[in-house]
């Protein structure tokens, strides 16, 4: 039974207060004591899985060229904290390069880099991966036909280290781990061929069993495996809950297991209307990133029900191909055919949006041009209060749900 709820939901850098008859569906916090963030990381580094401690690896090669792969500005990984602890382990830091894994994303600005790296921004050589670079190194072709070419700095390093956080991913199952290599530091063609596998029915959120996207990524990473990996799992507030270090696959599987438990919310209810915040900035920095919240939450909405996405999108739509495909393909059948015959990175977001729109009515609250959104067949608003007023009729006998962090919350019905 729903109750009158006065709560705040993230929108950009603000919290918007709403007062509606609804049930809040955020995951139940699973805290592990009052452990500080850096203590979680240090504990992981002191107890690696499947490898020697990083301190031993580094001491065995004191003159080694070391590359540390870090997430770009579209991720929320605690990169500065991870670097603090990694550098304590390595000790000899004069030959470290920080490689920003951008995949096909636009490169981070100087402001972004300072935000990602903190005190380490001016301390080390920083390189930003370019998926179209001329000097990428071909390392092999996967069993699913993905030609794998990787960043030369990574390939030339004597000690290769991956960092990042493990999150939900709507077709790779989970982000992080092997994704630091593919797509993180791979060629555009490698990424395109891998992502084209998303039409498989097993390529879905929180699933790695028989998931061809995940398996292809893992196979690609095996051609140039890292020497050491540090991955973390955080709650919706950004507090580190778990950290694991060591061998790539062992770390990923551990993190994926605890991430599924942390982010999953099961419910016996189906909702007529679901109000979903992507989670505020930077999760809603653009629509391209924020739409992951739709995929995470739509399964608990009744057929022809409503989903209201709250995503500021201060940086715009976020991808020209996503926008082009939304303009070009008016329904799911058209975009599905395009995905199968002429896959384009960015177009896959249109595929997921159009698929959801087959089953429900979609509205978006954002700073985006409302006419553009309306042309796509989506109701557009510039304020949460206007959307609630128009989309939720309080006189109807309906069930309303509220999700504060849709990008990192998987809502599933209990059948």
Question: Do 108 and 235 reside in the same domain of the chain?
Answer: yes
225, 243, 262 — which closes off a domain?
Answer: 262
pLDDT, mean of each 10-residue run, the chain (415 residues) = 69 93 76 63 96 94 93 89 94 90 92 93 94 98 98 98 94 95 97 92 94 98 98 84 96 95 90 96 93 94 97 96 95 91 87 95 97 97 95 84 92 85
Question: Do 272 and 248 reside in the same domain of the chain?
Answer: no
168-197: b or e for each residue (b if 16 or more CB lie within 10 Å)? bbbbbbbbbbbbbbbbbbbbbebbbbbbbb
Question: Do 11 and 87 reside in the same domain of the chain?
Answer: no
3-state SS of 95-118 is: CEEEEEECCCCCCCCHHHHHHHHH
Q: Is the sign of the CA dihedral 141, 145, 149, 154 positive or negative?
A: negative
Distance CA 410, CA 320 (A): 27
Strand order from edge to edge, sheet including 14-24: 3-11, 14-24, 400-403, 271-277, 301-310, 361-365, 379-381
CA 328 to chain centre: 26
Structure token digits, residue 172: 């790779």
First to last CA, the chain: 18
Query: Which residues have C-beta within 8 Å of that of residue 133, sequence separation ≥ 6?
Result: 151, 152
Question: Do 143 and 95 reside in the same domain of the chain?
Answer: yes
Question: Do 50 and 84 reside in the same domain of the chain?
Answer: yes
In this structure, are residues 243 and 44 in contact, taking their beta carbons and an 8 Å threshold?
yes
Structure token digits, residue 118: 């903190």
235, 262, 289 — which closes off a domain?
Answer: 262
Instruction: Report the pLDDT value the prediction gives residue 294, as an integer from 0 to 100.
Output: 96
Question: Do 295 and 218 reside in the same domain of the chain?
Answer: no
Q: Which CATH number covers residue 329?
A: 3.90.226.30
Question: Do 18 and 50 reside in the same domain of the chain?
Answer: no
Query: Which residues have C-beta within 8 Å of that of residue 244, sequence separation ≥ 6?
Result: 44, 49, 230, 231, 250, 251, 254, 255
Question: Do 239 and 302 reside in the same domain of the chain?
Answer: no
In this structure, are residues 7 and 404 in contact, taking their beta carbons and an 8 Å threshold?
yes
Question: Domain total for the chain?
Answer: 2
Instruction: Report the pLDDT value the prediction gives residue 20, as an integer from 0 to 100.
Output: 87
In this structure, are residues 69 and 161 in contact, taking their beta carbons and an 8 Å threshold?
yes
Question: Do 131 and 232 reside in the same domain of the chain?
Answer: yes
Question: Do 399 and 325 reside in the same domain of the chain?
Answer: yes
Instruction: Report the pLDDT value the prediction gives residue 34, as an integer from 0 to 100.
Output: 44
Instruction: Report the pLDDT value the prediction gives residue 235, as an integer from 0 to 100.
Output: 81
Question: Do 257 and 284 reside in the same domain of the chain?
Answer: no
Query: Which residues have C-beta within 8 Å of that of residue 166, sequence separation ≥ 6?
Result: 174, 175, 176, 177, 231, 232, 233, 252, 255, 256, 259
Question: Do 338 and 387 reside in the same domain of the chain?
Answer: yes
3-state SS of the chain is: CCEEEEEEEEECCEEEEEEEEEEECCCCCCCCCCCCHHHHHHHHHHCCECCCCHHHHHHHCCCCCEEEEEECCCCCCCHHHHHHHHHHHHCCCCCEEEEEECCCCCCCCHHHHHHHHHHHCCCCEEEECCCCCCCCEEEEECCCCCEEEECHHHHHCCEEEEEEECCEECCCEECCHHHHCCCCCECHHHHHHHHHHHHCCCCCCCCCCCCHHHHHHHHHHHCCCCCEEEEEEECCCCCEEEEEEECHHHHHHHHHHHHHHHHEEEECCCEEEEEEECCCCCCCCCHHHHCHHHHHHHHHEEEEEEEEEECCCCCCCCCHHHHHHHHHCCCHHHHHHHHHHCCCCCHHHHHHHHHHHCCCEEEEECCCCHHHHHHCCCEEECCHHHHHHHHCCCCCCCCEEEECCHHHCEEEECC
Q: Which CATH number covers residue 186?
A: 3.40.50.11440
Instruction: Report the pLDDT value the prediction gives residue 209, as an integer from 0 to 100.
Output: 96
210, 235, 262 — which closes off a domain?
Answer: 262
Distance CA 214, CA 197 (A): 9
Print the domain residue range for 342: 3-28+268-413
């Amino acid at each position: 039974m729903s109750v009158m709820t006065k709560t705040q939901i993230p929108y950009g850098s603000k919290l918007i207060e709403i007062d509606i008859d609804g049930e809040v569906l955020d995951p139940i916090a699973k805290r592990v004591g009052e452990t500080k963030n850096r203590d979680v990381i240090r504990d992981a580094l002191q107890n690696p899985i499947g490898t020697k401690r990083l301190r031993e690896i580094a001491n065995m090669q004191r003159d080694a060229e070391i590359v540390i792969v870090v997430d770009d500005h579209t991720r929320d990984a605690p990169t500065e904290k991870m670097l603090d602890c990694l550098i304590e382990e390595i000790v000899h830091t004069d030959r470290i390069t920080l490689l920003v894994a951008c995949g096909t994303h636009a490169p981070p600005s100087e402001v972004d880099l300072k935000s990602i790296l903190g005190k380490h921004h001016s301390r080390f050589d920083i390189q930003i991966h370019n998926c179209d670079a001329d000097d990428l190194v071909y390392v092999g072709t996967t069993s699913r036909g993905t030609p794998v070419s990787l960043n030369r700095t990574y390939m030339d390093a004597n000690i290769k280290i991956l960092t990042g956080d493990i999150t939900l991913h709507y077709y790779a199952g989970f982000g992080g781990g092997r994704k630091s290599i593919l797509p993180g530091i791979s060629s555009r063609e490698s990424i395109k061929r891998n992502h084209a596998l998303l039409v498989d029915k097993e390529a879905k959120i929180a699933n790695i069993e028989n998931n061809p996207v995940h398996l292809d990524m893992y196979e690609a990473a095996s051609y140039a495996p890292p020497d050491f990996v540090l991955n973390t799992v955080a709650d919706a507030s950004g507090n580190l809950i778990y950290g694991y270090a060591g061998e790539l696959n062992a770390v990923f599987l551990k993190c994926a297991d605890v991430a599924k438990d942390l982010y999953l919310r099961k419910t016996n209810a189906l909702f007529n209307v679901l109000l979903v915040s992507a989670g505020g900035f930077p999760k809603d920095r653009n629509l391209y990133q924020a739409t992951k919240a739709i995929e995470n939450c739509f399964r608990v909405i009744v057929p022809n029900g409503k989903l209201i996405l709250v995503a500021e999108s201060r940086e715009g739509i976020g991808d020209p191909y996503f926008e082009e495909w939304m303009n070009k393909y008016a329904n799911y059948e058209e975009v599905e055919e395009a995905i199968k015959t002429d896959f384009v990175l960015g177009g896959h977001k249109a595929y997921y949006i159009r698929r959801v729109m087959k089953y429900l009515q979609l509205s978006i609250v954002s700073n985006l041009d409302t006419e553009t959104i309306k042309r796509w067949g989506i109701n557009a608003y510039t304020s949460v209060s206007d959307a609630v007023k128009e989309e939720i009729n309080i006189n109807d006998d309906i069930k309303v749900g509220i999700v504060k962090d849709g990008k990192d919350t998987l809502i599933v019905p209990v059948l």
